[in-house]
Structure 1
Protein backbone atom coordinates (compact mmCIF):
# COMPACT_ATOMS: atom_id res chain seq x y z
CA UNK A 1 0.00 0.00 0.00
CA UNK A 2 1.24 3.45 -0.88
CA UNK A 3 2.05 5.56 2.17
CA UNK A 4 0.97 9.18 1.77
CA UNK A 5 3.67 10.38 4.12
CA UNK A 6 6.62 11.61 2.07
CA UNK A 7 10.12 12.57 2.91
CA UNK A 8 12.04 9.61 4.31
CA UNK A 9 15.65 8.65 3.73
CA UNK A 10 15.67 4.89 3.18
CA UNK A 11 18.57 2.71 4.31
CA UNK A 12 18.67 -0.84 3.01
CA UNK A 13 20.91 -3.79 3.85
CA UNK A 14 20.72 -7.56 3.61
CA UNK A 15 20.62 -7.66 7.39
CA UNK A 16 22.10 -5.92 10.42
CA UNK A 17 25.18 -4.47 8.73
CA UNK A 18 23.54 -1.32 7.41
CA UNK A 19 22.83 -0.24 10.96
CA UNK A 20 26.47 0.87 11.09
CA UNK A 21 25.70 3.30 8.25
CA UNK A 22 22.39 4.44 9.74
CA UNK A 23 24.11 5.20 13.06
CA UNK A 24 26.50 7.60 11.30
CA UNK A 25 23.64 9.21 9.35
CA UNK A 26 21.87 9.95 12.61
CA UNK A 27 25.01 11.49 14.09
CA UNK A 28 25.72 13.73 11.10
CA UNK A 29 22.18 14.33 9.83
CA UNK A 30 19.91 13.95 12.88
CA UNK A 31 17.21 16.24 11.52
CA UNK A 32 15.81 13.79 8.97
CA UNK A 33 13.30 10.92 9.05
CA UNK A 34 14.69 7.45 8.30
CA UNK A 35 13.34 4.04 7.38
CA UNK A 36 15.66 1.05 7.77
CA UNK A 37 14.99 -2.22 5.95
CA UNK A 38 16.96 -5.36 6.76
CA UNK A 39 16.38 -8.36 4.50
CA UNK A 40 17.57 -10.74 7.20
CA UNK A 41 15.49 -13.67 5.94
CA UNK A 42 17.53 -13.81 2.73
CA UNK A 43 20.94 -12.85 4.12
CA UNK A 44 23.71 -13.20 3.18
CA UNK A 45 23.64 -11.66 -0.29
CA UNK A 46 27.37 -12.09 -0.84
CA UNK A 47 27.21 -15.72 -1.96
CA UNK A 48 24.25 -15.28 -4.31
CA UNK A 49 24.22 -14.81 -8.08
CA UNK A 50 24.19 -11.41 -9.76
CA UNK A 51 20.61 -11.96 -10.92
CA UNK A 52 19.34 -12.90 -7.46
CA UNK A 53 21.10 -9.97 -5.77
CA UNK A 54 19.57 -7.60 -8.31
CA UNK A 55 16.05 -9.02 -7.87
CA UNK A 56 16.20 -8.93 -4.07
CA UNK A 57 17.63 -5.42 -4.05
CA UNK A 58 14.99 -4.15 -6.48
CA UNK A 59 12.18 -5.62 -4.35
CA UNK A 60 13.51 -3.85 -1.27
CA UNK A 61 14.05 -0.55 -3.11
CA UNK A 62 10.49 -0.59 -4.44
CA UNK A 63 9.15 -1.37 -0.97
CA UNK A 64 10.99 1.62 0.50
CA UNK A 65 9.72 3.92 -2.24
CA UNK A 66 6.19 2.73 -1.45
CA UNK A 67 6.73 3.79 2.17
CA UNK A 68 7.50 7.35 1.11
CA UNK A 69 11.27 7.38 0.69
CA UNK A 70 12.68 10.06 -1.60
CA UNK A 71 16.25 8.80 -1.52
CA UNK A 72 17.57 5.33 -0.68
CA UNK A 73 21.07 4.33 0.36
CA UNK A 74 22.08 0.77 -0.46
CA UNK A 75 24.04 0.19 2.76
CA UNK A 76 25.15 -3.15 1.37
CA UNK A 77 28.34 -3.44 -0.63
CA UNK A 78 27.15 -6.50 -2.54
CA UNK A 79 23.98 -4.70 -3.63
CA UNK A 80 25.98 -1.56 -4.44
CA UNK A 81 28.39 -3.58 -6.58
CA UNK A 82 25.87 -5.76 -8.39
CA UNK A 83 22.52 -3.95 -8.53
CA UNK A 84 22.97 -0.20 -8.12
CA UNK A 85 23.95 0.78 -11.63
CA UNK A 86 21.13 -1.16 -13.30
CA UNK A 87 18.57 0.32 -10.91
CA UNK A 88 19.90 3.82 -11.50
CA UNK A 89 19.98 3.50 -15.28
CA UNK A 90 17.01 1.30 -16.12
CA UNK A 91 14.49 1.50 -13.29
CA UNK A 92 14.54 5.00 -11.82
CA UNK A 93 14.09 6.99 -15.05
CA UNK A 94 11.03 4.95 -16.03
CA UNK A 95 9.28 4.12 -12.75
CA UNK A 96 10.61 6.63 -10.21
CA UNK A 97 11.72 9.83 -11.93
CA UNK A 98 13.05 12.33 -9.45
CA UNK A 99 13.86 9.75 -6.79
CA UNK A 100 17.42 8.62 -6.06
CA UNK A 101 19.26 5.45 -5.09
CA UNK A 102 22.89 5.73 -3.98
CA UNK A 103 25.47 3.16 -2.87
CA UNK A 104 28.22 2.94 -0.28
CA UNK A 105 31.03 1.71 -2.47
CA UNK A 106 32.04 4.80 -4.41
CA UNK A 107 32.43 7.20 -1.45
CA UNK A 108 34.97 4.82 0.09
CA UNK A 109 36.94 4.21 -3.08
CA UNK A 110 37.36 7.90 -3.87
CA UNK A 111 39.67 8.57 -0.95
CA UNK A 112 41.07 5.34 0.46
CA UNK A 113 43.97 5.06 -1.99
CA UNK A 114 45.41 8.32 -0.72
CA UNK A 115 45.70 6.88 2.80
CA UNK A 116 48.24 4.24 1.81
CA UNK A 117 51.96 4.97 2.02
CA UNK A 118 53.02 1.58 0.65
CA UNK A 119 50.47 1.91 -2.17
CA UNK A 120 49.04 -1.50 -1.34
CA UNK A 121 45.41 -1.42 -0.18
CA UNK A 122 43.55 -4.45 1.07
CA UNK A 123 39.82 -5.10 0.78
CA UNK A 124 37.95 -7.59 2.93
CA UNK A 125 34.46 -8.22 1.54
CA UNK A 126 31.84 -10.76 0.58
CA UNK A 127 32.39 -13.21 -2.25
CA UNK A 128 30.02 -11.26 -4.50
CA UNK A 129 31.75 -7.94 -3.90
CA UNK A 130 35.19 -9.43 -4.48
CA UNK A 131 34.09 -11.17 -7.69
CA UNK A 132 32.65 -7.94 -9.04
CA UNK A 133 36.11 -6.32 -8.66
CA UNK A 134 34.30 -3.04 -8.03
CA UNK A 135 36.68 -1.96 -5.27
CA UNK A 136 39.75 -2.83 -7.30
CA UNK A 137 38.50 -0.99 -10.38
CA UNK A 138 37.32 2.11 -8.54
CA UNK A 139 40.27 2.53 -6.16
CA UNK A 140 42.81 2.08 -8.92
CA UNK A 141 40.86 4.54 -11.08
CA UNK A 142 40.77 7.25 -8.42
CA UNK A 143 44.36 6.67 -7.22
CA UNK A 144 46.58 5.46 -10.08
CA UNK A 145 49.60 3.51 -8.90
CA UNK A 146 47.82 1.87 -5.99
CA UNK A 147 47.65 -1.91 -5.94
CA UNK A 148 44.45 -3.42 -4.54
CA UNK A 149 44.47 -6.92 -3.05
CA UNK A 150 41.22 -8.57 -1.98
CA UNK A 151 40.00 -11.44 0.14
CA UNK A 152 36.50 -12.86 0.34
CA UNK A 153 35.26 -13.70 3.84
CA UNK A 154 32.13 -15.75 3.12
CA UNK A 155 31.51 -16.90 6.70
CA UNK A 156 31.68 -13.48 8.38
CA UNK A 157 28.17 -12.24 7.56
CA UNK A 158 26.41 -15.49 8.54
CA UNK A 159 28.31 -15.48 11.84
CA UNK A 160 27.33 -11.86 12.54
CA UNK A 161 23.71 -12.39 11.47
CA UNK A 162 23.50 -15.37 13.84
CA UNK A 163 24.84 -13.12 16.64
CA UNK A 164 27.80 -15.47 17.09
CA UNK A 165 30.51 -12.91 16.39
CA UNK A 166 31.65 -12.63 20.01
CA UNK A 167 32.02 -16.38 20.51
CA UNK A 168 35.40 -18.13 20.52
CA UNK A 169 34.37 -20.09 17.45
CA UNK A 170 33.43 -16.96 15.53
CA UNK A 171 36.57 -15.10 16.50
CA UNK A 172 38.71 -18.08 15.50
CA UNK A 173 37.29 -17.92 11.97
CA UNK A 174 37.91 -14.16 11.75
CA UNK A 175 41.50 -14.57 12.94
CA UNK A 176 42.25 -17.39 10.52
CA UNK A 177 41.09 -15.28 7.57
CA UNK A 178 43.10 -12.26 8.76
CA UNK A 179 46.25 -14.32 9.28
CA UNK A 180 45.99 -15.81 5.78
CA UNK A 181 45.42 -12.38 4.25
CA UNK A 182 48.30 -10.64 6.03
CA UNK A 183 50.72 -13.48 5.29
CA UNK A 184 49.85 -13.29 1.60
CA UNK A 185 50.07 -9.48 1.46
CA UNK A 186 52.77 -8.23 3.86
CA UNK A 187 52.98 -4.77 2.26
CA UNK A 188 49.36 -3.86 2.97
CA UNK A 189 49.15 -0.78 5.19
CA UNK A 190 45.46 0.07 4.68
CA UNK A 191 42.51 -2.31 4.83
CA UNK A 192 38.97 -1.42 3.79
CA UNK A 193 36.16 -3.26 5.52
CA UNK A 194 34.16 -3.65 2.33
CA UNK A 195 30.99 -4.94 3.95
CA UNK A 196 28.80 -2.93 6.29
CA UNK A 197 28.50 -5.92 8.63
CA UNK A 198 32.23 -5.91 9.35
CA UNK A 199 32.34 -2.78 11.55
CA UNK A 200 30.25 -4.79 14.00
CA UNK A 201 33.45 -6.76 14.72
CA UNK A 202 35.76 -3.75 14.39
CA UNK A 203 37.09 -3.91 17.95
CA UNK A 204 38.09 -7.55 17.59
CA UNK A 205 39.68 -6.98 14.17
CA UNK A 206 41.59 -4.00 15.54
CA UNK A 207 42.95 -6.20 18.34
CA UNK A 208 44.44 -8.76 15.93
CA UNK A 209 45.56 -6.51 13.07
CA UNK A 210 48.95 -4.77 13.57
CA UNK A 211 48.63 -1.16 14.72
CA UNK A 212 50.52 0.26 11.72
CA UNK A 213 47.76 -0.97 9.37
CA UNK A 214 44.87 1.47 8.96
CA UNK A 215 41.43 -0.07 9.21
CA UNK A 216 38.86 1.87 7.18
CA UNK A 217 35.14 1.65 7.85
CA UNK A 218 32.51 3.24 5.64
CA UNK A 219 29.99 4.84 7.97
CA UNK A 220 31.54 8.26 8.54
CA UNK A 221 32.67 8.53 4.92
CA UNK A 222 29.23 7.72 3.51
CA UNK A 223 27.48 10.06 5.98
CA UNK A 224 29.77 12.92 4.99
CA UNK A 225 29.12 12.28 1.30
CA UNK A 226 25.35 12.07 1.84
CA UNK A 227 25.39 15.44 3.59
CA UNK A 228 27.34 16.91 0.69
CA UNK A 229 24.95 15.31 -1.82
CA UNK A 230 21.87 16.76 -0.10
CA UNK A 231 23.50 20.19 0.07
CA UNK A 232 24.10 20.09 -3.68
CA UNK A 233 20.75 18.54 -4.62
CA UNK A 234 18.13 20.75 -3.04
CA UNK A 235 15.46 19.19 -5.26
CA UNK A 236 15.84 16.12 -3.02
CA UNK A 237 16.58 17.72 0.35
CA UNK A 238 13.55 20.03 0.19
CA UNK A 239 11.29 16.96 -0.09
CA UNK A 240 12.71 15.37 3.06
CA UNK A 241 10.83 15.58 6.34
CA UNK A 242 12.54 17.10 9.36
CA UNK A 243 10.70 15.07 11.97
CA UNK A 244 13.52 12.90 13.38
CA UNK A 245 11.39 9.76 13.25
CA UNK A 246 12.87 6.31 12.77
CA UNK A 247 11.16 3.17 11.47
CA UNK A 248 12.52 -0.36 11.18
CA UNK A 249 11.47 -3.21 8.91
CA UNK A 250 12.83 -6.75 8.74
CA UNK A 251 11.97 -9.69 6.51
CA UNK A 252 12.90 -12.07 9.33
CA UNK A 253 11.28 -12.48 12.73
CA UNK A 254 10.51 -8.96 13.93
CA UNK A 255 11.07 -9.89 17.58
CA UNK A 256 14.57 -11.16 16.79
CA UNK A 257 15.40 -7.89 15.08
CA UNK A 258 13.91 -5.93 17.97
CA UNK A 259 16.05 -7.90 20.44
CA UNK A 260 19.15 -7.24 18.37
CA UNK A 261 18.45 -3.52 18.36
CA UNK A 262 17.93 -3.45 22.11
CA UNK A 263 21.14 -5.41 22.75
CA UNK A 264 23.12 -3.04 20.53
CA UNK A 265 22.21 0.35 21.99
CA UNK A 266 19.24 1.24 19.80
CA UNK A 267 16.75 1.14 22.63
CA UNK A 268 13.29 -0.40 22.62
CA UNK A 269 12.23 0.00 18.99
CA UNK A 270 9.15 -1.20 17.14
CA UNK A 271 10.07 -3.45 14.22
CA UNK A 272 7.61 -3.96 11.35
CA UNK A 273 7.58 -7.05 9.17
CA UNK A 274 8.59 -6.74 5.53
CA UNK A 275 6.58 -9.38 3.67
CA UNK A 276 8.54 -11.03 0.86
Structure 2
Protein backbone atom coordinates (compact mmCIF):
# COMPACT_ATOMS: atom_id res chain seq x y z
CA UNK A 1 0.00 0.00 0.00
CA UNK A 2 1.27 3.48 -0.88
CA UNK A 3 0.49 7.07 0.08
CA UNK A 4 -0.23 9.11 -3.07
CA UNK A 5 -0.23 12.89 -3.16
CA UNK A 6 -2.51 14.63 -5.67
CA UNK A 7 -2.05 18.38 -6.14
CA UNK A 8 -4.10 20.92 -8.10
CA UNK A 9 -4.90 24.62 -7.96
CA UNK A 10 -8.44 23.70 -6.90
CA UNK A 11 -11.07 21.03 -7.56
CA UNK A 12 -10.00 20.14 -11.10
CA UNK A 13 -7.63 17.42 -9.95
CA UNK A 14 -10.60 15.61 -8.43
CA UNK A 15 -11.11 14.23 -11.95
CA UNK A 16 -7.67 12.58 -11.64
CA UNK A 17 -8.32 11.42 -8.07
CA UNK A 18 -11.64 9.95 -9.21
CA UNK A 19 -9.87 7.82 -11.82
CA UNK A 20 -7.17 6.85 -9.32
CA UNK A 21 -9.79 5.60 -6.87
CA UNK A 22 -11.36 3.59 -9.70
CA UNK A 23 -8.12 1.94 -10.78
CA UNK A 24 -6.21 1.89 -7.48
CA UNK A 25 -8.68 2.12 -4.58
CA UNK A 26 -6.43 0.26 -2.14
CA UNK A 27 -3.92 3.09 -1.66
CA UNK A 28 -4.11 6.09 0.68
CA UNK A 29 -4.44 9.54 -0.92
CA UNK A 30 -3.83 13.14 0.07
CA UNK A 31 -5.66 15.58 -2.18
CA UNK A 32 -4.21 19.07 -1.90
CA UNK A 33 -6.22 21.97 -3.36
CA UNK A 34 -4.58 25.40 -3.41
CA UNK A 35 -8.01 26.97 -3.82
CA UNK A 36 -7.06 30.29 -2.27
CA UNK A 37 -4.88 30.88 -5.35
CA UNK A 38 -7.10 29.33 -8.04
CA UNK A 39 -7.02 29.65 -10.97
CA UNK A 40 -3.35 29.19 -11.82
CA UNK A 41 -3.85 29.65 -15.54
CA UNK A 42 -3.83 33.44 -15.34
CA UNK A 43 -0.73 33.77 -13.10
CA UNK A 44 2.89 34.29 -14.11
CA UNK A 45 5.13 31.38 -15.04
CA UNK A 46 7.50 32.25 -12.19
CA UNK A 47 4.74 32.29 -9.58
CA UNK A 48 3.28 28.98 -10.81
CA UNK A 49 6.69 27.28 -10.73
CA UNK A 50 7.52 28.47 -7.21
CA UNK A 51 4.11 27.67 -5.73
CA UNK A 52 3.92 24.25 -7.39
CA UNK A 53 7.34 23.34 -6.01
CA UNK A 54 6.31 24.47 -2.53
CA UNK A 55 3.16 22.34 -2.51
CA UNK A 56 4.91 19.25 -3.87
CA UNK A 57 7.61 19.62 -1.21
CA UNK A 58 4.81 19.74 1.37
CA UNK A 59 3.35 16.49 0.03
CA UNK A 60 6.75 14.83 0.00
CA UNK A 61 7.21 15.87 3.64
CA UNK A 62 3.95 14.07 4.49
CA UNK A 63 5.60 10.83 3.35
CA UNK A 64 4.03 10.46 -0.08
CA UNK A 65 5.43 7.58 -2.15
CA UNK A 66 4.41 9.31 -5.38
CA UNK A 67 2.89 12.66 -6.37
CA UNK A 68 0.49 13.41 -9.18
CA UNK A 69 0.65 17.03 -10.35
CA UNK A 70 -3.01 17.00 -11.40
CA UNK A 71 -2.89 20.45 -12.96
CA UNK A 72 -2.02 21.03 -16.62
CA UNK A 73 -0.73 24.54 -15.92
CA UNK A 74 1.54 23.44 -13.06
CA UNK A 75 2.81 20.52 -15.13
CA UNK A 76 3.67 22.78 -18.05
CA UNK A 77 5.50 25.31 -15.89
CA UNK A 78 7.09 23.27 -13.13
CA UNK A 79 7.24 19.49 -13.67
CA UNK A 80 10.91 19.35 -14.72
CA UNK A 81 12.08 21.32 -11.69
CA UNK A 82 9.87 19.30 -9.32
CA UNK A 83 11.23 16.02 -10.66
CA UNK A 84 14.77 17.29 -10.25
CA UNK A 85 14.15 18.46 -6.68
CA UNK A 86 12.14 15.39 -5.58
CA UNK A 87 14.07 12.77 -7.53
CA UNK A 88 13.58 10.13 -4.83
CA UNK A 89 9.88 9.65 -5.65
CA UNK A 90 7.86 9.38 -8.89
CA UNK A 91 6.30 12.66 -10.03
CA UNK A 92 3.49 12.16 -12.57
CA UNK A 93 2.22 15.17 -14.48
CA UNK A 94 -0.71 15.79 -16.82
CA UNK A 95 -0.70 17.37 -20.25
CA UNK A 96 -3.36 17.94 -22.92
CA UNK A 97 -4.07 14.71 -24.81
CA UNK A 98 -3.32 16.10 -28.25
CA UNK A 99 -1.53 12.95 -29.45
CA UNK A 100 -4.48 10.60 -28.83
CA UNK A 101 -6.81 13.31 -30.16
CA UNK A 102 -4.83 13.54 -33.39
CA UNK A 103 -5.05 9.75 -33.75
CA UNK A 104 -8.81 9.74 -33.13
CA UNK A 105 -9.68 12.66 -35.41
CA UNK A 106 -11.16 11.70 -38.76
CA UNK A 107 -10.68 15.08 -40.48
CA UNK A 108 -7.43 16.17 -38.81
CA UNK A 109 -8.97 19.19 -37.07
CA UNK A 110 -8.72 19.14 -33.29
CA UNK A 111 -9.91 21.75 -30.79
CA UNK A 112 -7.85 22.31 -27.64
CA UNK A 113 -9.59 23.96 -24.69
CA UNK A 114 -6.98 24.84 -22.05
CA UNK A 115 -5.77 27.63 -19.81
CA UNK A 116 -3.85 30.58 -21.25
CA UNK A 117 -0.71 29.52 -19.36
CA UNK A 118 -0.83 25.98 -20.75
CA UNK A 119 -1.34 27.16 -24.34
CA UNK A 120 1.57 29.62 -24.07
CA UNK A 121 3.98 27.21 -22.40
CA UNK A 122 7.08 25.92 -24.14
CA UNK A 123 6.16 22.36 -23.16
CA UNK A 124 2.85 22.60 -25.02
CA UNK A 125 4.46 24.21 -28.08
CA UNK A 126 7.02 21.41 -28.22
CA UNK A 127 4.22 18.87 -28.05
CA UNK A 128 2.36 20.54 -30.92
CA UNK A 129 5.51 20.50 -33.03
CA UNK A 130 5.53 16.71 -32.97
CA UNK A 131 2.17 16.61 -34.79
CA UNK A 132 2.56 18.81 -37.91
CA UNK A 133 -0.08 16.95 -39.93
CA UNK A 134 -2.97 17.94 -37.66
CA UNK A 135 -4.67 21.34 -37.39
CA UNK A 136 -5.10 22.39 -33.77
CA UNK A 137 -7.60 25.11 -32.89
CA UNK A 138 -6.36 26.51 -29.58
CA UNK A 139 -8.84 28.20 -27.28
CA UNK A 140 -8.22 29.57 -23.78
CA UNK A 141 -11.10 28.79 -21.45
CA UNK A 142 -10.90 32.08 -19.54
CA UNK A 143 -13.42 32.28 -16.71
CA UNK A 144 -14.40 28.61 -16.69
CA UNK A 145 -12.26 27.48 -13.76
CA UNK A 146 -13.68 30.03 -11.27
CA UNK A 147 -17.21 28.96 -12.21
CA UNK A 148 -16.37 25.28 -11.67
CA UNK A 149 -14.67 26.16 -8.37
CA UNK A 150 -17.90 27.93 -7.36
CA UNK A 151 -19.90 24.75 -7.99
CA UNK A 152 -21.51 26.03 -11.19
CA UNK A 153 -20.21 23.48 -13.70
CA UNK A 154 -23.76 22.96 -15.00
CA UNK A 155 -24.98 26.51 -14.46
CA UNK A 156 -26.44 28.85 -17.06
CA UNK A 157 -23.54 31.32 -16.82
CA UNK A 158 -21.07 28.49 -17.42
CA UNK A 159 -23.09 27.27 -20.40
CA UNK A 160 -23.09 30.74 -21.97
CA UNK A 161 -19.35 31.26 -21.48
CA UNK A 162 -18.55 27.75 -22.69
CA UNK A 163 -20.60 28.36 -25.86
CA UNK A 164 -18.46 31.44 -26.60
CA UNK A 165 -15.24 29.48 -26.14
CA UNK A 166 -16.41 26.56 -28.27
CA UNK A 167 -17.62 28.72 -31.17
CA UNK A 168 -14.21 29.07 -32.91
CA UNK A 169 -13.62 25.34 -32.53
CA UNK A 170 -17.01 24.56 -34.05
CA UNK A 171 -16.49 27.02 -36.89
CA UNK A 172 -13.16 25.39 -37.74
CA UNK A 173 -14.94 22.06 -38.16
CA UNK A 174 -13.13 20.19 -35.39
CA UNK A 175 -14.39 16.66 -34.82
CA UNK A 176 -12.35 16.14 -31.63
CA UNK A 177 -11.97 18.31 -28.53
CA UNK A 178 -9.11 18.04 -26.05
CA UNK A 179 -10.07 18.90 -22.48
CA UNK A 180 -6.73 20.48 -21.66
CA UNK A 181 -7.37 21.35 -18.01
CA UNK A 182 -8.27 18.86 -15.29
CA UNK A 183 -11.25 21.05 -14.38
CA UNK A 184 -12.81 20.62 -17.80
CA UNK A 185 -13.96 16.96 -17.56
CA UNK A 186 -16.57 18.34 -15.16
CA UNK A 187 -17.97 20.27 -18.14
CA UNK A 188 -18.75 17.14 -20.15
CA UNK A 189 -22.47 17.45 -19.48
CA UNK A 190 -22.48 21.11 -20.55
CA UNK A 191 -20.41 20.38 -23.65
CA UNK A 192 -22.77 17.61 -24.69
CA UNK A 193 -25.72 19.94 -24.14
CA UNK A 194 -24.13 22.42 -26.55
CA UNK A 195 -22.60 20.08 -29.12
CA UNK A 196 -24.43 16.80 -28.71
CA UNK A 197 -22.45 13.74 -29.73
CA UNK A 198 -20.96 15.41 -32.79
CA UNK A 199 -17.48 15.74 -31.27
CA UNK A 200 -15.10 13.33 -29.54
CA UNK A 201 -13.95 14.43 -26.08
CA UNK A 202 -10.42 13.56 -24.99
CA UNK A 203 -8.96 13.79 -21.50
CA UNK A 204 -5.95 11.92 -20.15
CA UNK A 205 -6.98 10.92 -16.63
CA UNK A 206 -7.05 7.19 -17.40
CA UNK A 207 -3.59 7.27 -19.00
CA UNK A 208 -2.17 9.35 -16.14
CA UNK A 209 -3.33 6.82 -13.54
CA UNK A 210 -2.01 3.91 -15.62
CA UNK A 211 1.37 5.63 -15.49
CA UNK A 212 1.04 5.95 -11.71
CA UNK A 213 0.22 2.24 -11.50
CA UNK A 214 3.34 1.34 -13.49
CA UNK A 215 5.50 3.48 -11.20
CA UNK A 216 4.04 1.87 -8.07
CA UNK A 217 4.50 -1.63 -9.47
CA UNK A 218 8.15 -0.78 -10.21
CA UNK A 219 8.50 0.19 -6.53
CA UNK A 220 7.02 -3.14 -5.50
CA UNK A 221 3.99 -1.58 -3.84
CA UNK A 222 1.32 -4.15 -3.02
CA UNK A 223 -1.82 -3.97 -5.17
CA UNK A 224 -5.03 -5.36 -3.70
CA UNK A 225 -8.15 -3.92 -5.28
CA UNK A 226 -10.37 -5.55 -2.66
CA UNK A 227 -9.23 -2.98 -0.12
CA UNK A 228 -10.12 0.70 0.11
CA UNK A 229 -7.62 3.16 1.51
CA UNK A 230 -8.13 6.56 3.08
CA UNK A 231 -8.55 9.95 1.40
CA UNK A 232 -7.48 13.19 3.10
CA UNK A 233 -8.69 16.44 1.54
CA UNK A 234 -6.51 19.47 2.28
CA UNK A 235 -7.41 22.99 1.18
CA UNK A 236 -5.64 26.33 1.46
CA UNK A 237 -9.03 28.06 1.52
CA UNK A 238 -12.05 26.04 2.68
CA UNK A 239 -11.68 22.37 3.57
CA UNK A 240 -15.40 21.79 4.11
CA UNK A 241 -16.31 23.16 0.67
CA UNK A 242 -13.64 20.99 -0.94
CA UNK A 243 -15.03 17.97 0.92
CA UNK A 244 -18.57 18.72 -0.27
CA UNK A 245 -17.53 19.32 -3.88
CA UNK A 246 -15.64 16.04 -3.93
CA UNK A 247 -18.85 14.21 -3.09
CA UNK A 248 -20.76 16.23 -5.70
CA UNK A 249 -18.29 16.02 -8.59
CA UNK A 250 -16.72 12.58 -8.21
CA UNK A 251 -18.33 9.36 -9.36
CA UNK A 252 -16.38 7.18 -6.92
CA UNK A 253 -18.21 5.99 -3.81
CA UNK A 254 -16.25 7.96 -1.24
CA UNK A 255 -18.22 6.29 1.55
CA UNK A 256 -16.09 3.18 0.91
CA UNK A 257 -13.01 5.13 2.02
CA UNK A 258 -11.96 6.67 5.32
CA UNK A 259 -12.34 10.42 4.64
CA UNK A 260 -10.66 13.30 6.43
CA UNK A 261 -10.44 17.00 5.57
CA UNK A 262 -8.35 19.85 6.91
CA UNK A 263 -7.48 23.48 6.28
CA UNK A 264 -3.79 24.32 5.96
CA UNK A 265 -3.23 28.03 5.46
CA UNK A 266 0.51 27.68 4.90
CA UNK A 267 2.41 24.82 3.29
CA UNK A 268 5.86 25.90 4.38
* TM-score > 0.5 by shorter chain: yes
Partner of 1:245: 230
Partner of 1:150: 138
Partner of 2:5: 10
**Equivalent position to 1:254, from 226, 239, 257:** 239
Structure-2-length-normalised TM-score: 0.88
Partner of 2:112: 123
Structure 1: which 5+ residue stretches go unaligned? 1-5
Task: Specify whether residues 123 and 27 from structure 1 end up closer, same or farther in structure 2 by C-alpha distance, changes over 3 A only.
Answer: same
Task: Specify whether residues 274 and 110 from structure 1 end up closer, same or farther in structure 2 by C-alpha distance, changes over 3 A only.
Answer: farther
Task: Specify whether residues 112 and 135 from structure 1 end up closer, same or farther in structure 2 by C-alpha distance, changes over 3 A only.
Answer: farther
**1:136 offset after TM fit, Å?**
4.6
Q: Answer yes or no: is the 8 Å Cα contact 1:112–1:139 preserved in 2.
A: no
> Secondary structure at the residue paired with 1:37?
strand
**1:240 offset after TM fit, Å?**
9.1
> Secondary structure at the residue paired with 2:39?
coil
Partners of 2:39 and 2:143 in 1: CA distance: 9
Partner of 1:164: 152
What pairs with 1:40-51 in structure 2 (closer than 5 Å)? 40-51=35-46
2:99 paired with 1:113: no
Partner of 1:274: 264
What pairs with 1:1-276 in structure 2 (closer than 5 Å)? 7-89=2-84, 91-92=85-86, 97-105=87-95, 108-132=97-121, 134-141=123-130, 143-183=131-171, 185-186=172-173, 188-231=174-217, 234-235=218-219, 237-238=220-221, 244-264=229-249, 266=254, 269-276=259-266
Q: Answer yes or no: is the 8 Å Cα contact 1:41–1:252 preserved in 2.
A: yes
Partners of 1:69 and 1:240 in 2: CA distance: 16
**1:28 offset after TM fit, Å?**
0.9
**1:86 offset after TM fit, Å?**
2.0
Partners of 1:189 and 1:243 in 2: CA distance: 39
RMSD: 2.3
**1:83 offset after TM fit, Å?**
0.7
Name which of structure 1's ranges 16-25 and 127-136 shifts more when overlaid on structure 2.
Answer: 127-136
| Cα displacement string for residues 88-144 of structure 1 (whole angstroms, at most 9, x for unaligned residues) | 23x23xxxx4212120117x3443321112122221001111111534532542x45
> Secondary structure at the residue paired with 1:31?
coil
Q: Answer yes or no: is the 8 Å Cα contact 2:137–2:169 preserved in 1.
A: no
Partners of 2:68 and 2:237 in 1: CA distance: 20
